[in-house]
Structure 1
């Protein structure tokens, strides 16, 4: 049984993680809010340090039996997303207004049909600060949306675990790989991390030995969120596993299926749009923090056909913003 102090620490960590503005958690602050000293935290609750530093997923601390707690965290995170998006929109409007005012102010003469623009360091610094702030809010929104998706997946797994025809959702954890790519731009290292994560999830798939199970491979092509895809899926009469596969070629799919050793039926679901322009716009909307190489590959993704090992291939029309 978890003692009261440990539960307070867990509650404080979860609250800060889902309601933070992107700032790192600090041991001293967490310990203080839980009513203990930093020394007591390190001595008796050192195993929670990884969640504070971001080395372990905070989702592991979410209550497995209290759906209301998970729902409250989702509502809090979604409220934070809306607030950030509203603030971001206001900043962009102020940014554009300030830019126009500054340029108009420094158009000082019109001679021989030439417009002379005077740019100063103050203008450049102001615009750079506003651009950095906009980028920061955009990254916070992407991060919070990812947290909401994870929480929805966790809630789905928990709510269906006690029903006939349960659904297990497997989503590759690529946040650290994307963070590393953002620093060093090493796409090969990103691919290695992605392959290892997919291999880890395939190990889980192969642990299911019931031949009545069904595997749904969701190749999102960065056109549709996993959480929205799950909402579209009808309830299953048999147990099923949903695996999001960030792959783009028929060869990658064949290699993935060849590693599935469990006696399981496989279906492939792929989102699409009626026009290329719509697809590109949707992909640009979703791929803010993705490696540019991933975006280009998703734009040229292979058309998937029925082949050995696949029971069905389903293309569905994705929705804008979904």
Structure 2
């Protein structure tokens, strides 16, 4: 594994830790073990990552090209902020109820002087403890608000920097291809034979790649595979894409799910070297069901099963970049 691959692996491990546990400490020894290197090697070659491992810095600084992860970090931070705000409000209500209950219990049994002594002692102590706790919660809320604002600024800055490198979309610098799966769906509807469906699908994809290999100037062409998972609309995805300045972007809707098939298709596009893949995802079964009923009527259930079982593309598969984007209702 190269030094850059090891560094990418370390960053990925820290990112997953912060996504799951927030900006908390990940011991260097544990991080090094997970990356398959010694602690001494980490300190010698990757010491600049120590602040992130110890939770002193947000990994968002290293993820300017990973908008999906930046968005997830912001969502996690907002969720934690909301939970603390709710805890703060609940603590205030509990504090008021506690004072009322304690006062009521003691008033019924103590004389006025005893009540005054109680208020001077026990009530003051209770109030002080509760106020200290509320102050702590308020401090944590403020800290999270600052962190959340910083993460938002980092995400916006990243998006703006990326946008600055893009050109206005035209027919000359932006092209999309989507395989015609109507014959495949028809073949399956008649025969209920999934093998016939796949044969028709493969033929449709092959025709597209034959067209792409005839495009001029492959050295200035960026190919983007949109890995169709049947949970989102391809045209909506294309509408958000922008080509780079002085380059042509080709976006291909690609219902292919195995590493071997994807790599064969990449090799068939040589000498085009800039090939990226974008993968939609959602944790909502409702979104998946609604989008499949609306956009993909007639698609065999076996195709949905293959899409759901597909492994997430990895950096060592050969792509220029791998981008994940979260699908929401209606997209």
The alignment's TM-score, normalised by the length of structure 2, stands at: 0.45
Larger Rg: 2
